Amino acid sequence: MKTPEPSQTWSTAAYSEIIKQILNNREKDLELNILKKRICQKYHLNKVPSNSEILSYASEQERQLLLPLLQKKKVRTISGIAVVAVMSKPAPCPGKCIYCPGGTIAPKSYSGQEPAAMRAIQNNFDPYLQVKSRLEQLRAIGHKVDKGKIKLIVMGGTFLSLPQDYQHYFVRRCLEAITGVPSETLEEAKRNAEHSRMRNVGITFETRPDYCREENVDNMLNMGGTQVEIGVQTVYDDIYKLVNRGHTVQEVVEAFRIAKDAGLKVTAHLMPNLPGSNYERDLDMFKTVFNDPRFKPDGLKIYPCLVLKDTPLYNLYLKGEYSPYPTEDVIKLIAEVKRIIPKWVRIQRIQRDIPSKLIVSGVKSGNLRELVAEELTRRGYKCQCIRCREVGHILRKNNNILDVDEVVLHTERYSASEGEEVFISYEDKDRNILVGFLRLRRPSPLAHRPEIQNCESMIIRELHVYGPLVPVREKPNDEWQHRGYGKRLLSLAEKVAREEYDAKKILVLSGIGVKEYYYKLGYKPDGVYVSKMLN
C-alpha cells in the first residue's frame, strides 16, 4: 500500500478503512460517496478522496477487486477501445470560414477551451506528453490501458496542410508514447508499434475535402491512418459561398471516393443551422448524405452552427443578417436524423465541446445528445445508428443480458462513391443490439493505390467487435471481445469476395498494432495494407 507524503491531510488508516468497507459491501447497493464522507469525518479529513486516489493506495490484489466498483466513465472504453485525442500546434488554416473561432492559443477551428485543446495547451502541444497524460488519466480512473487498444485522433484544424516533416514527427512521437520505445524515424516507430504491450489500433486524421486528395490520402496511409474525418458541413454550394468555405460539393464527392477506395473509414462533419439554411434544407441535407451514392459516410459528427464572438458570423448576427433557428428545432432535427439513419452509420458526436459562456447564439445546452434522446423517446422511436446499438452501450444502460444464441448474422449491400459496400454484422435478430461488424468494399474503377490495381481486389475498411475493452492476449469473462466474432466476420468477408465478386485478393487497412492478428490468419504485408490471395 502506498505511503502518503507528510503534507497530505488524510491518513493511510482512512484509505484502508474505505477500501475495506467497499470490498466488504461489494455485493450490496453501496452509496460510495456517503461511505467516503462518513469515514473522512471520522478521521477529521478536510477532503474526500477521489476514486483514482483510492485506487492508488490499494494493493494490486485489492485494485483488481476495486476496479469494477470504482471505474469512472466506463463509456471511455465501452466500445472496446480507448480513444486518445491529440492536437497539433496552432498554425494558419487554408480555410477562411466565417463561423470559425480562429483562436491564437489553439488551432484555428478551436476556441482553446475544449477539453482536448486544454490538455494540448497544458502540454505545450507536445504530442508525446499529450498521449502520456491522457493515458495516465484513463489509468487513474480504472481503465485497462496497459495492455489496451488505443485509437489516436489527430486534431488541429487541417493537420494535413502542415509541413509533412512536422506531421511525421507528430505521429512518431504519439506512437512512442504508446510503445514506450524511442525511434529515429516514423517507419521505425510503426514497426515498434506492431508488437508493443499497448497497441495502436487506428489513427484518425481531421481534414478538409480539398486536403483529402490522392497525395493527402497516401500520406495518411503512410502515417498509419485508418480513418479520416472530413469537414463537409453542408451539401449546398450556395451555402459554401455564403460561409466562405473555399471548396465545392464536387470536392467533397471526390474526397469521399478517394478515401474509401484506399480503404479509409470516412466520418463526415455536418453543420446544420448555417447561414442560408433552415430546418427543411438541413433535413434534406442529411437525407442526401444517407441516400445519395456520392456520399454515404461511415460515421457522422453533428456540430450545429454557433455564433462566437470576434468572428465574421458574429458581425452578421449583430447586423441582423443571420439568426440561427431555435434550439427546439435543432433537437427535433437531430431526433429525426437518428430515426432515419442507416444502420451502417455511427453518430460519433453531437455538438462541440465549446463552453456555453463563449456562445452568443445557437445551442447553449451542454447536453444536446440527451435532449435529442428524450425527444426521440417521446416520439416512440429509437436511434438506429451503430453507437446506440453497440452491445456495450445497451448493456450499460439497460442491464440487459444478450444470450450468445440470440446473435445472428446480417448482411447489407449498398452502392457508395462509385464502388459497392458490403456491411456484414453480428446482431440480435431484431437488429437492436450490435456485437460486431465488418465493412467490405469493392473499390471503384478509379482506385489509385497500386496494391489494389494489380488484380481484382476487395478491401476490408473496418472490422470491429464491441463491448468493454478486453486487453490484448487476455481472455474475456462476460465481455464480447475475443470470442471469435472477428475471425468469423473475416472468414465471411473472404467468402463473399471470392464467391460473389470473383476477387483474387482481399486487403485489409489494418491498425498498426492489429497487423499481428492478421498475420496469424494468413495475411501478409502488402504496401500499407495486409492482404491474402483468394483461391
Confidence of residue 27 (pLDDT cuts 50, 70, 90): low
- For 144, what's the count of Cα atoms within 13 Å in the CB-facing half-sphere? 19
Cα–Cα–Cα angle for 249, 252, 254, rounded to 5 degrees: 115
Read off the DSSP letter of residue 455: S
Q: Where are the alpha helices (DSSP H) in 5-75?
A: 12-24, 32-42, 51-57, 60-70
pLDDT in tens, 81-136: 788 999 998 887 888 899 988 767 777 677 777 778 888 888 999 999 999 988 88
Of 24, 51, 70, which closes a domain? 70
Asked if 127 and 136 count as a contact pair (C-beta separation under 8 A), the reply is no
pLDDT > 90? residue 266: yes
Residue 6: per-residue pLDDT: 35
- What residues make up the domain containing 507? 391-533
pLDDT-derived band at 75, boundaries 50, 70, 90: very low
pLDDT at residue 103, as a whole number: 65
Identify which of 299, 196, 197, 218 has the alpha carbon closest to the alpha carbon of residue 529: 218
Q: Is residue 285 part of a domain?
A: no
419 within some domain:
yes
Residue 204 pLDDT greater than 70, yes or no? yes
Give pLDDT tens digits for 215-235: 999 999 999 999 999 999 999
Element (H, E) at 116: helix 115-122
With bands split at pLDDT 50, 70 and 90, how would you rate the model's confidence at 402? low
Residue 531 has pLDDT above 70, yes or no: yes
Question: Of 37, 53, 70, at which residue does a domain stop?
Answer: 70
The H-or-E segment that residue 157 falls in is: none
Confidence of residue 3 (pLDDT cuts 50, 70, 90): very low
> Looking at 43, 70, 97, which one is the last position of a domain?
70
- Section 379-400 average pLDDT: 81
C-alpha cell at 125: 502541444
More confident residue, 107 or 260: 260
Higher-pLDDT residue of 46 and 424 is 424
Q: Percentage of the chain surpassing pLDDT 90?
A: 62
Does residue 16 lie in a domain region? yes
- What is the reported pLDDT for 2? 47
Res 145: pLDDT? 74
Please measure the distance between the N-terminal and C-terminal CA atoms of the chain and give it in whole angstroms.
Answer: 58
Q: Cβ-count burial of 258 within 10 angstroms (0-12 exposed, 13-18 middle, 19+ buried)?
A: buried
The pLDDT tens digits for 476-528 are 545 555 568 889 999 999 999 999 999 999 999 999 999 999 999 999 999 99
* 346-350/359-361 β-pairing: unpaired
Among 211, 226, 222, 307, residue whose Cα is nearest residue 266: 226
Q: What is the CATH number of the domain that holds 459?
A: 3.40.630.30
Identify whether 28 is part of a domain. yes
pLDDT value, residue 479: 55
Nearest-angstrom CA–CA distance, 482 and 120: 34
Domain count, the chain: 2
Assess contact for 535 and 485: CB atoms under 8 A.
no
Report the Cα 356 to chain-centroid distance in Å.
23
φ, ψ of residue 309 in degrees (nearest 5) = -60, 155
Q: Which residue has the higher pLDDT, 341 or 428?
A: 341
The single-letter code of the amino acid at 314 is Y
Given a cut of 60, is residue 20 above it in pLDDT? Answer: yes
3-state secondary structure of 385: coil
Q: Could you tell me if residue 146 is inside a domain?
A: no
Q: Checking DSSP bridges between strand 419-428 and strand 407-416, what pairing results, if any?
A: antiparallel
Average pLDDT value over all residues in the chain:
88
| SS3 of the chain: helix, strand, coil, percent, to 5 | 40, 20, 40
The H or E element spanning position 286 is helix 279-291
Segment 451-476 shows an average pLDDT of 78
Measure the CA–CA gap between 375 and 145, rounded to whole angstroms. Answer: 36
